[in-house]
Structure 1
Amino acid sequence: MERLDTPDPRSVFSSLAYFRLLEACGLTGSWCWTFASGEQSWSPGLFALLGLEASAVRPSYGALRALAHPADREVLETEVEVLGAGLLRAHTVRIVRPDGSVRTLESRGEIFLDAEGRPAAASGFILDVTDREALADARRAEQRRRWALFREAQSWTHASLYAQAQRVGSRELLSLTGVTQQAFRDDCTCVVAAEDRSRTREHVGSLMRAGRPFEAFKRLVLADGASGSFRFVYVPVRDASGRIESWATLASRVGGIPSAPVDGFLRDELESALGGKHLRAARKMLGWSMMDCSLASGLSFATIRKLEGETEASASSARRRVVAALRRGGIGFSLVDGSGIAIART
């Protein structure tokens, strides 16, 4: 540890020393490039991020770009674009280290101009965001699984504090009932059938105060105006001291699952499963000719014929336009009997 002879460390602790302290965490690195001399350099932290020894490679923007994953490399500016056009944008890309491991890096750079306004130098700062991106990917995958389960089985899980100021309705419950987050926060029984709200409020409240797991049956008012019976299982979640910090709930429909509108992620998945036979059957159900379908979708007759002739499902912009036209004409698609697809006039 270096001794300081002044009581104010800021007077001797340079920005370079502070940057080296940050790089010691192993998550950051930087580079710079002076165009006139061609001189380029990498910080020790960047070598570490890239999994390279300082003696293993001569620092250059080209070498840095070459380490990018082949699928991500094209989004990075080329040396010509940086040097000649002064282009250097922010990116999040994967790099492949010499040992084969893959890391996700966030890069931000800046171009410095000379007195005549021409690009004179460039520098960049790189941050390892591998863990952040992996967590985000896992969260998105979990959300897709949860949403698919909800849309097909009307079953979901949720955790909430159930204190009014911090009460949060799950995405699934709000979608099912059509209420807003603010309305739910103001009165969480607003999703319950009016004649059952008072009983539900008193029943659930008393069981929560007991602090033990319990189940409750509620009749919910759905977004389409209908109603349905649901079973809710409540389980207290406790902190290290044993205090209840939130309640976890498992909700599921009672008495069968009615068909539900398909939207968002699930609609994309359903449309990608539609084959030529489905499009052909939907068109005939409307009494449309291929030319009618062409006019309704804005696609050529040849494209309609090709799409209807395909036996395998495929996802394409043309297919989405045809499906959208069929929906406007009054056709609905839904999943039935496992992975089967039902077509009906709405």
Structure 2
Amino acid sequence: MFHSALSALTFSSGEFLTITERRGLSGAWSWVLAGGEQIWSPGFFRLLGLVPNATKASYDLLLSLVHPEDRHRLPAPGEVRQGHIPHETIVRVIRPNGTVRVLSLVMEARFSAEGRPIAVNGTALDVTDREQLSRMREVERRRGALYLTEHIVAFSVGLDLRHEFPFEMAQVHGLPYEEICLDPYAMIVPEERAAFQDAALTQIERRLFFQGTAHERLANGELWHFKIITVPVLDPDGVYLGRCGLKCPARSPIPISSALSKGLDQAVTGHHLRAARALLDWSMMDLAQASGVSHSTVRRLEEDREHRGSRSRLQAVEALRRAGIRFIPMDDGTLAVGKS
């Protein structure tokens, strides 16, 4: 009876692969080297963001979807034909819709009696969540260490205005962690607190970027002067996601993070674009050609008829930045436009 019950709870690796494929977590592929036939399972197509059997399976197609920084981790087609393959590797894949997944690839070569490679088989497992969790833990560790040593931190603000700080910030300021996440203004000295909070909340309510300075008392009694900047973040459809921010000593240059930079780019409006074009002596057509968008799109951007999260805005800002334009946040909540 025990053996029968145990058998009912076990299943083959093939059955396991079928179950995980149905959930979009795994896939398999093979390459018969002699005839050149390549076969992908439906799950492997789906892992790559492709419709099963709507595209011809090929190793070159797989390589083209691997993130450029990770392609060196996979053998070239010629190496595969010789049977020179890694047993296991992890790569990022950029799907046709732009999403990125992390795949663990296991490969095995089969050889003839004479030692010639005749086929290569592979399986793929989606480990995106595991890799993201690992990276998040490492980022959080570094964030905490940076605030302990340099008093610099990047943070996020949710729709409920809860601030996500590293735990070490509470340690540095000698305040309860939950208190500073719910009320970050509690770290500011009392005589400056109300004015700073009013100015920050006004910009948050208007969904504009905010920059200001404030003095804060640390747990060891030292008084530090900090610069704090927060910017709204929107998705490509213009949906407001919250804010990201950065806090650093006022005497230090602001170390702009990628999230903060994107938020500042989304704060660039039509009059900023017109001012930037004037500094470069560019026409609207010049900006359209430099940024890879249409003339009508540039016109909509300059008339503020495109939502702030649009990709075309980011493309236009990046084109202007390559040409030497700088968008500089000022303490009064405005963006200055300059040319370097």
TM-score category (smaller protein):
0.3 to 0.5
Larger Rg computed on CA atoms: 1
With normalisation by structure 2, the TM-score equals 0.43
TM-score computed with the length of structure 1 as normaliser: 0.42
